[in-house]
A and B are shown apart, each in its own frame.
Chain A
């Protein structure tokens, strides 16, 4: 049981999918119950994982490793560390909520819908736990398919365009990743004489690869992840996908899919090609793009007339923060980046859920069609405000913790980045508050809105866990940091060997001696 816990986690939704497929497609409610049941089950099966996980340990845990395709050296190789752990938790929670929240909003082709959704869930979970690059690629690609269908079948007006755009963008990015992958794979074979896709094997290749090659390989991976994140010039699939997708789809997109880019960076791209990641051009370029993304996303959302589109662009801005943190290449930057990813995964789904609630009643996303909702839906207003301020980076809520840590990391790397980064904070307040004002405040102008009902219990239940999460991370993020610490330090040590000891050495006499920071890090002080 416990040694197969990861398999169980990702297989649960898959079983759920099969179960759903076996049901007759007329009995919609049965399907809904079964799907939700499996979603909850998926949530429950992570409990043993949480109990078994040791956050102090920076290595991969709960490892499962079997030969899959010996001819290729591909293995069924699962394992998690802090990064994966958090992402898996996020996935099961958000996945469950998005399945729950589509209870009433999805009425046609229910069976397919839930089947796809559970399939998607399985794929995403897989991505976050595989340590075999080949298998990773498999999960990475296959997970696009259900998303394509979810957007394409149950989406809004331009759904076909959005769906294929989403698919092709990501595919185009990931084929380049495939090439980079193969190059490393082959170089590993040349170096060590056997084929393997295991992450740690491929990581060893870096030692035998020149900076230039690493640079290109890193970018091969990076483009794929940058598309997913999405980073500034690669972001345009996002607004369409977000806008057209059904609420649950947007929730999953914002909540989890975007995080895969971040996760891929810290799990694969950066450790595999440290020289490529720390290459000066790379750093400058990525940081520049992130900053552009932050400001740019904010400015564009300022102009949006479409509610969901606005939130989508805000994601571009927020994820810009995350990548900025990652590319700062120091503990706070990376940990902050991942944590901010988590936060974004909590707060942005809230915003989308909020949109969904009124969308289901009014079937319009135009901001102008709303206004004065506070008069009709006080509870809704409060929850929306919480989500809003969470993603705005209100201290005491989760957003601030992430942004602040990222800015810390960025500042350490280059104060200028931080200087630009805070611009995002200012603009963030601007477009979010303005949205709030236009939607919630003022008198009820549009008579159609008079009829709006406040949130029902199910909707509140859907939102509650996320809001709780926002507050929890906002008030007591320590556990998250503890989970992130070990892997982050390991990564930093790999990217920038002697980071800790060096800084400790640079300490002015005032700096008191430090305890040994981590297994890899030399005891500081001398």
Chain B
């Protein structure tokens, strides 16, 4: 146990991403309060946030270099460890944050809720997530998780005057609190088992326990339901559609991608390190949950008419696919998770960005029919939409294909043929509702009062960027696969 109040530069180096984010977050609060609010140029906050992300990018780049050169390195007595896994997820978070910020400016303006706190919260949430991915200590994990969660509660409810937004926030908060209560209850049991809050120690302790020890089971049950909630696995998914619909669209995208990614990071970490020895106990369960999740997500999406809800259900289904990677829990499975999440960032943000930009005289237009005849008004973006949908459906050579590809491979490797067949056939089901979107914007003619795309530079950049990456990853996936690969190798330990 190290001496009190010693905090070295190494520790700082490890913490850099979180620190930078917090600093910029506070910076935004201050500048917003004292400078920006006077000028009324709220987009400056966005610029500041992006600057913060730039710095983070540099830091993460450093980390990547260090990890590549000299492997993982820990700080703060091993309560935070930077390894390929953490770096990868930091990248994911940074990407999603950038996209979210870029999308937000116009959207929040249009909604009349364009305030500095919004961006600050985005950054704080990211800080929490980055620590979720890198932390190795129950307390760190718990507090960072809550930081993320709380920020999201607020972000979801940020449209204060919108009933839907309030409602979504409240539901999210109540259920979130409920779930994190269970989660932390499990944490407490874990602490009771190990007498330490450090994951590795816990892992050892659990492993030392007899097979299927009930204390461990209790911890496993409570923590896993907590996490299932976060990744919106069935039957803990109920919040997702409502929150996704009610929240401001950029936030929806952010929640659906980043928080899910973070929760998966935590989950993988927990299941592989803490419960690694119990894998026989949880794999079948995860398998069932994944199957049910895919089923419910896909089926519910089929008849959905609200775009955001449709995407919400689809994201539930995607969670199921990603979970399958953890079920297989072999190299290709985890690789699949990483690739899947990376691709998911771009395709999902892209889709949401387009949905978010869709407005009919100022009102957000979020129904499927609002897309009708989009091809006539914005052919370019219609093509992008098609790209995103194809990618979500997992049609090669789009980015989304590779994740599924790895997942299937992982399942077949472990001999889960039935699961694989189901997962594969659900691709066809999913294709059906993704093509409903394509059909709406390509094949059906618009109404006399069509919804228009209301975007600014940021939104456009985000859209084009997402499209470009979705296709690029599809055609030239090598680099991305390597990146994902690195994360896996460390996680597998």
Contacts and interface: CB of A to CB of B under 8 A. Distances in A.
Interface of A: 69-72, 112, 137-138, 141-142, 144-145, 148-149, 152-153, 159-160, 163-164, 167-168, 171-172, 175-176, 178-179, 182-183, 185-186
Contact of B443 (A141, A153, A182, A186): A153
Nearest to B339: A71
Interface string B405-417: 1001100110001
Contacts of B413: 186
Contacts of B396: 137-138, 141-142
A141 B395 contact: yes
A78 B442 CA distance: 33
Q: Which of A138, A144, A160 has the most CB of B within 10 A?
A: A138
B485 A179 contact: no
Contacts of A175: 424-425, 427-428
Contacts of B477: 69, 71-72
B439 interface: yes
Contacts of A183: 412
A383 B161 CA distance: 71
Nearest to B477: A69
Given A69-B477, A145-B395, A176 B421 contact: yes
B432 A164 contact: yes
Contacts of B439: 152, 160, 164
B435 A167 contact: yes
27 contacts: A71-B477, A71-B478, A72-B405, A112-B379, A138-B396, A141-B395, A141-B396, A142-B396, A145-B386, A148-B435, A152-B439, A152-B442, A153-B443, A160-B439, A160-B443, A163-B443, A167-B431, A168-B428, A171-B395, A171-B427, A171-B431, A172-B425, A179-B417, A179-B420, A179-B421, A179-B424, A182-B409
B397 interface: yes
B293 to A, nearest CB: 18
Given A182-B409, A186-B413, A152 B443 contact: yes
B10 interface: no
Interface of B: 375, 379, 386, 390, 395-397, 405, 408-409, 412-413, 417, 420-421, 424-425, 427-428, 431-432, 435, 439, 442-443, 477-478, 481-482, 485
Contacts of A148: 435
Contacts of B435: 148, 164, 167
A186 B427 contact: no
A141 B481 CA distance: 21
Given A145-B390, A153-B443, A171-B428, A179 B478 contact: no
A70 to B, nearest CB: 6
Q: Which of A159, A163, A179 has the most CB of B within 10 A?
A: A179
A182 B397 contact: no
For the complex of A and B, list the 3 residue pairs with the smallest distance between their C-beta atoms, beginning with the closest: A175-B424, A71-B481, A172-B428
Nearest to A164: B435
A355 to B, nearest CB: 23
Contact of A182 (B412, B425, B442, B485): B412
Nearest to B396: A138
Given A164-B432, A164-B435, 16 more contacts: A69-B477, A69-B481, A112-B379, A138-B396, A141-B396, A144-B395, A149-B443, A152-B443, A153-B442, A171-B395, A171-B428, A178-B405, A179-B420, A185-B409, A186-B409, A186-B413
